[in-house]
Amino acid sequence: MGPHCDSVPLDFELPPLPLMASSPDISQVLLPIGGLVGREIDLDAFLQTLMDRIAVTMQADRGTLWLLDPARGELFSRAAHLPEVSQIRVKVGQGVAGYVAEHGEPVNMPDARGESRFFADIDRLTGYRTTTMLAVPLRDTGGNIYGVLQVLNRRGGGRFTDDDVERLMTIAVQVSQALQSTSLYQELQRAKAQPHAPVGYFFNRIIGESEPLKVIYRLIQKAAPTDATVLLRGESGCGKELFARAVHVNGPRRDKPFVKVDCAALPASLIENELFGHEKGAFTGADHRVPGKFEAADGGTVFIDEIGELPLPVQGKLLRVLQDREFERVGGTQTIKVDVRIVAATNRELVKMVAEGKFREDLYYRIKVVELVLPPLRERGGEDIERLTSHFIAASAKRHRLPVPRLSGVALERLKRYRWPGNVRELENCIESAVVLCEGEILEEHLPLPKGVSAAPAPVESGELVTEGGTGELLPLAEVEKRHILRVLDSVKGNRTAASKVLQIGRNTLGRKLKEYGIADEG
């Protein structure tokens, strides 16, 4: 299990569900979550907010979302009002939630005393006293149970009624429909087929549990709630836009525009016009005023992809936006004020470009307030490749209206051995091709991969030579040091004293370096 993401109490502003005295109609209880399940949200924070709203709607003191861990035959609390403990696990068949998961029928427990299905150990663990409880199953579209929705202690001292049972079952249908559109549900399905890798996820649509990714998740959780400028670095195809969107939708600007500008896809002569817009008459053919991306994103986020391709004159104009939040349109004299957050991405080595005079040094330091170096797929390990493969198989089969094929063991091993120079994007395209061409099972012959490739290298250990992309191009010493420090810190679960001893540096020195990486506080 990955750790809870509850250290950042994000509020997605979900309004309470309507209170009803009569039997509910599904159209009356629609949950306002459809717009979130397709975004790169912090799923734990989202689910916790959802359970808060359900508890209010059901006039309950507490609520719990239980999910099924097929590898262990257990239910685990994924979102719950549990200030006392971070998570609870029960066996299928154990307690009321376990009974509901095993038998697939709702349980309305009017009095915990003397109830044989009540598991009192949970109250003893938390110090909470349960008097009344209502629990209903979560089923997917195939009718399979994958979780339980539970509320505790009806407010006012009363009991949950038959109408409450029907209401919670209706809500459970809607919650299940929403969850089946998230990567959490696909992760639960993967765990059925590959029980050796435990259930885990952090952000919707971002798949992976490897140690390098966990470092990125923690940094996003720290940076997202702020307005800090973020620089994403990494090879092409490693998902920079997904992580940029995760920064946006987990921050205070989530309901405002997220506007992307791809500098690599635009001629240098048009980039300034794209970003800042132009006035009428600014150039031949400019017959009317056109606002740019910064105006379109006012209040939200501008994602500048491949910022290393930005021409030097435009870099100066961007620097002014970062410093003063103002600019003029092309051909204009009126100063325009904007309120935007900037997230930038590049696969270029900006430090080298600064040294060569191709990138402004003052702009470089302005955009790297928080710097996230995304790991290439080959450094994320076999389990992440397996997780991503399962995700892409399911997604591709759904997109092309095909049955979900099996993945042969030989094909999986071939995927794990390959170096993936195109990273996650290449894996996605590879799997889509295999899903379309196979007949019920993906075999090695269905994978459009070059023959005779060597195995991907193992994760880098201390003292080994580090190269960028495995091409032989040496990384800067600062980057080698940063990656090693973050690996050591993660291996000791964030204990800075222990990390200092392993690294054989002073604790203050470690703290200063972590501050440079955007990790300024303890933890």
Question: Per residue, what are the HEC states of 288-344?
Answer: CCEECHHHHCCCCEEEEECHHHCCHHHHHHHHHHHHHCEECCECCCCCEECCCEEEE
- Exposure string for 97-123, b = 16+ CB within 10 A, e = fewer: bbbbbbeeebbbbeebeeeebbbeebe
SS3 at position 496: helix
Q: Which of 407, 401, 441 lies closest to 427, judged by CA?
A: 407
Q: Where in the chain is the domain with CATH 3.40.50.300?
A: 211-373
Report the amino acid identity of residue 358. Answer: K
Q: Which of 318, 134, 338 lies closest to 253, judged by CA?
A: 338
CB-side exposure of 16: number of CA atoms within 13 Å? 9
- CB contact at 8 A, 340 and 298: yes
Q: Which of 302, 312, 230 lies closest to 272, judged by CA?
A: 312
Residues 6+ apart with CB under 8 A from 54: 17, 60, 63, 149, 151, 168, 171, 175
- CB contact at 8 A, 332 and 279: yes
* Domain formed by 26-190, architecture: 2-Layer Sandwich (3.30)
CB-side exposure of 18: number of CA atoms within 13 Å? 12
Q: Name the CATH superfamily housing domain 467-516.
A: Homeodomain-like (1.10.10.60)
**pLDDT averaged over consecutive 10-residue blocks of the chain (523 residues)?**
34 42 38 53 76 88 87 78 63 91 93 80 77 93 92 89 93 88 77 61 75 89 92 94 89 89 88 90 83 93 95 94 92 92 95 95 95 94 90 90 92 92 94 95 93 47 42 62 79 79 80 71 50
Fold of 380-446: Helicase, Ruva Protein; domain 3 (1.10.8)
Question: From the CB of residue 493, how many other CB atoms can be counted at a distance below 10 Å?
Answer: 9
Question: From the CB of residue 337, how many other CB atoms can be counted at a distance below 10 Å?
Answer: 9
Helix or strand holding residue 95 (H, E)? helix 95-103
DSSP string across 131-152: --EEEEEEE-TTS-EEEEEEEE
* pLDDT of amino acid 28: 37
* pLDDT of amino acid 207: 84
CA distance linking residue 380 with residue 84, whole number of Å: 34
Report the amino acid identity of residue 12. Answer: F
CA distance linking residue 89 with residue 292, whole number of Å: 52
* Domain formed by 211-373, architecture: 3-Layer(aba) Sandwich (3.40)
Tell me which residue has tokens 């559109």.
181
Q: Where in the chain is the domain with CATH 1.10.10.60?
A: 467-516
CA distance linking residue 142 with residue 408, whole number of Å: 24
- CB contact at 8 A, 338 and 345: no
Q: What is the pTM of this model?
A: 0.62
Q: Which of 410, 433, 319, 305 lies closest to 366, judged by CA?
A: 319
E-strand ranges in 306-461 read: 326-327, 336-337, 341-346, 370-373, 406-407, 441-442
CA dihedral for 406, 411, 417, 421, sign (positive or negative): negative
- CB contact at 8 A, 139 and 117: no
Q: Where in the chain is the domain with CATH 3.30.450.40?
A: 26-190
Q: Quote the tokens at residue 255.
A: 């309901």
Helix, strand, coil percentages, rounded to 5, for the chain = 40, 15, 45
Bridge partner residues of 138 (DSSP): 147
Q: Where in the chain is the domain with CATH 1.10.8.60?
A: 380-446
* pLDDT of amino acid 342: 96
Q: Quote the tokens at residue 106.
A: 């709702």
Q: How far is CA 479 from the centre of its chain?
A: 25
* pLDDT of amino acid 23: 38
Residues 6+ apart with CB under 8 A from 434: 405, 411, 442, 446, 447, 448
Q: Which of 32, 459, 395, 11 lies closest to 205, judged by CA?
A: 395
* pLDDT of amino acid 221: 87
Question: From the CB of residue 455, how many other CB atoms can be counted at a distance below 10 Å?
Answer: 10
SS3 at position 431: helix
Bridge partner residues of 91 (DSSP): 74
